Amino acid sequence: MLTSSRQCRCCGATFAQLLSLACDRPDMCPEDMPQQDNTAIIAERGDVLTDDFCRIGDLHFLRCVLAVPLIGGDEEEFVLGTWASVSRENFDSYMDLFELRETETLSNCPAWLSNAIPPGMGEPVAGMLHMRPEGQYPELMISETGHPLYPLQKNGAQLEELFDLLYSYGHDMASLVYDA
Ligand SMILES: [Zn+2]
């Protein structure tokens, strides 16, 4: 099923393509703020959005990923590109090591999920940001046990749960699979 080339009715994306979704900015960041090259985070003062960093007032955000393993899915996982707010100290340390691709030398740090996932959920949600090697984006692990992502990240998601999650983003794969 997972290698199926069935396409979503709304957007034509295949199921495999839908295994990753990305938020291009933290929810707090205005939609009309231009996304600049990463150098702007140092070059500019005040509120800035770049490819991987964002500063809004006193808040500091990093691009990260949030992965949900698929149960029975041969190591497949659903990866959400998202944003986490971190302390200014941790933000600065991360920024110093980012270009060197040495962020994995940092300790894991507390962070707050800064996009409503699934849509409509309240945020911020507490988590821990785990650093990863070779310039990969850090991975956010949700620590609030009452949040719907917590059990999904911890135990993995059944295919149906993943369809539900995709459906909350407007992608209706379930009817295609079960109608067929
Ligand atoms: Zn779609």
Is 122 within 8 Å of 99 (Cβ atoms)?
no
Query: Number of folded domains in the chain?
Result: 1
Ligand 1 centroid to Cα of residue 8, in Å, is 5
Ligand 1 centroid to Cα of residue 158, in Å, is 19
Is the model's pLDDT at 123 over the cut of 80?
A: no
Which residues have beta carbons under 5 A from ligand 1 (an ion)?
8, 10-11, 171
**From start to end of the chain, where are the E strands?**
20-22, 35-36, 48-50, 53-56, 59-69, 77-86, 109-113, 125-130, 139-142
Ligand 1 centroid to Cα of residue 22, in Å, is 13
161 falls within a domain: yes
76 falls within a domain: yes
pLDDT in tens, 70-94: 998 778 899 999 999 999 999 999 9
Q: What is the DSSP secondary structure assignment for residue 24, as one 8-state letter?
A: S
7 falls within a domain: no
Q: Which residue would you say has higher pLDDT here, 178 or 130? A: 130
The gap between the terminal CA atoms of the chain, to the nearest Å, is: 11
Domain assignment of residue 88, given as a range: 63-169
132 falls within a domain: yes
Q: What is the DSSP secondary structure assignment for residue 67, as one 8-state letter?
A: E
Ligand 1 centroid to Cα of residue 163, in Å, is 11
71 falls within a domain: yes
21 falls within a domain: no
HSE of 101 in the Cβ direction (CA atoms, 13 Å)? 4
Ligand 1 centroid to Cα of residue 13, in Å, is 6
Ligand 1 centroid to Cα of residue 12, in Å, is 6
6 falls within a domain: no
pTM, entire model: 0.89
Is 86 within 8 Å of 160 (Cβ atoms)?
no
pLDDT in tens, 27-73: 999 999 999 999 999 999 999 999 999 999 999 999 999 999 999 87
Ligand 1 centroid to Cα of residue 169, in Å, is 8
44 falls within a domain: no
Is the model's pLDDT at 180 over the cut of 50?
A: no
